[in-house]
């Protein structure tokens, strides 16, 4: 069972506060790849950087990134207008095949670019055939959505390890704001129902453990979004014996 923690390049990110035994995934934000590369280097070049296909300018740029990120990479399409010939993550996979791992995104709750779920399944199969080695999902709150999606893609022939995207232990209000940005509609509905059932939960800290325990036997790992709330996330890990054991 693999556990990774997602962090984002930011001047406010305190590197010294990040536990040394965490495996990190470094996002590609603010429409630029350079901050990701800078943070990757500061962290010793041993974690997994994200590369947005839309931000890769040409084949030379792709080859240069592949040389820098030779231990593994997570490829996404990106929400920006493509700066070069790479409008999809799948087109970048061949450039990184010499690396140790190639992660791609999975969407249990769909994606705005995929007008129907079958298209998303077909694209994932394509990425698998090109050399992807695992799939990490978008942030989800509905365990049944994850279980159903995992079964569906596996029935279609996807054999990639699945790492379930998990929200951090922040307040439901904050998580709703992040979910709005990510476009996870089913999870927004799930959070809304949670709020209706108990308004007090809006200000309480969300606990990801029930979801993780429900989907545990259906996935191969967890990808924990921290939103750079390192102290809160690390305290929560310390309180979760089975998770702490997996990380150690």
Look at residue 231 and tell me if it is in a domain.
Answer: yes
Look at residue 145 and tell me if it is in a domain.
Answer: yes
By C-alpha distance, which of 143, 210, 206 is closest to 176?
A: 206
Average of pLDDT values for 227-232? 93
User: Tens of pLDDT along 212-228?
Assistant: 999 999 999 999 999 99
Look at residue 163 and tell me if it is in a domain.
Answer: yes
The confidence score (pLDDT) of residue 125 equals: 95
Q: How far apart are CA 244 and CA 17, in angstroms?
A: 17
Contact, 37 vs 5, CB < 8 A?
Answer: no
Domain that holds residue 135: 2-169+206-247
**In this predicted model, which residue has the larger pLDDT, 13 or 118?**
13
How sure is the predictor about 196, in pLDDT bands with cuts at 50, 70 and 90? very low
User: Tens of pLDDT along 122-164?
Assistant: 889 999 999 999 999 988 888 998 999 999 999 999 999 999 9
Look at residue 152 and tell me if it is in a domain.
Answer: yes
Look at residue 179 and tell me if it is in a domain.
Answer: no
**In this predicted model, which residue has the larger pLDDT, 114 or 90?**
90
CB atoms within 10 A of CB 238: 11
Look at residue 189 and tell me if it is in a domain.
Answer: no
By C-alpha distance, which of 30, 72, 19, 18 is closest to 50?
A: 72
DSSP label at residue 184 = -
How sure is the predictor about 80, in pLDDT bands with cuts at 50, 70 and 90? confident
Look at residue 78 and tell me if it is in a domain.
Answer: yes
Look at residue 90 and tell me if it is in a domain.
Answer: yes
Site of tokens 């901050």: 35
The confidence score (pLDDT) of residue 219 equals: 97
Q: How far apart are CA 43 and CA 132, in angstroms?
A: 24
pLDDT cut 90: percent of the chain above it: 60
Residue 74 bridge partners (DSSP): 50, 103
Whichever domain contains 227, its CATH number is 3.20.20.220
Contact, 75 vs 95, CB < 8 A?
Answer: no
Number of domains comprising the chain: 1
| pTM, full prediction | 0.88
User: Tens of pLDDT along 92-128?
Assistant: 999 998 767 999 999 887 766 655 456 678 889 999 9
């Amino acid at each position: 069972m693999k556990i990774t923690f997602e962090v984002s390049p930011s001047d406010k990110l305190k590197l010294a506060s990040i536990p040394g035994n965490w495996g990190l995934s470094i996002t590609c934000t603010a429409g630029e790849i350079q901050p990701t590369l800078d943070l990757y280097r500061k962290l010793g070049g041993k974690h997994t950087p994200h590369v947005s296909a839309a931000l890769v300018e040409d084949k030379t740029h792709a080859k240069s990134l592949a040389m820098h990120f030779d231990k593994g990479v997570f490829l996404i399409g990106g929400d920006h207008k493509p700066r070069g010939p790479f409008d999809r993550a799948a087109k970048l996979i061949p450039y990184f095949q010499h690396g140790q791992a190639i992660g791609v995104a999975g969407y249990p709750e769909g994606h705005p670019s995929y007008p129907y779920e079958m298209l998303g399944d077909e694209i994932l199969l394509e990425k698998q055939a090109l050399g992807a080695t695992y799939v990490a999902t978008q942030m989800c709150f509905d365990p049944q959505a994850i279980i159903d999606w995992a079964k569906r893609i596996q029935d279609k022939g996807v054999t990639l390890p699945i790492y379930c995207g998990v929200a951090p232990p922040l307040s439901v209000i904050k998580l709703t704001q992040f979910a709005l940005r990510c476009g996870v509609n089913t999870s927004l509905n799930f959070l809304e129902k949670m709020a209706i059932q108990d308004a007090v939960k809006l200000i309480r800290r969300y606990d990801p453990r029930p979801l993780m325990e429900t989907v545990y036997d259906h996935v191969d790992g967890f990808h924990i979004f921290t939103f750079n709330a390192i102290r809160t996330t690390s305290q929560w890990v310390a309180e979760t014996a089975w998770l702490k054991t997996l990380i150690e």
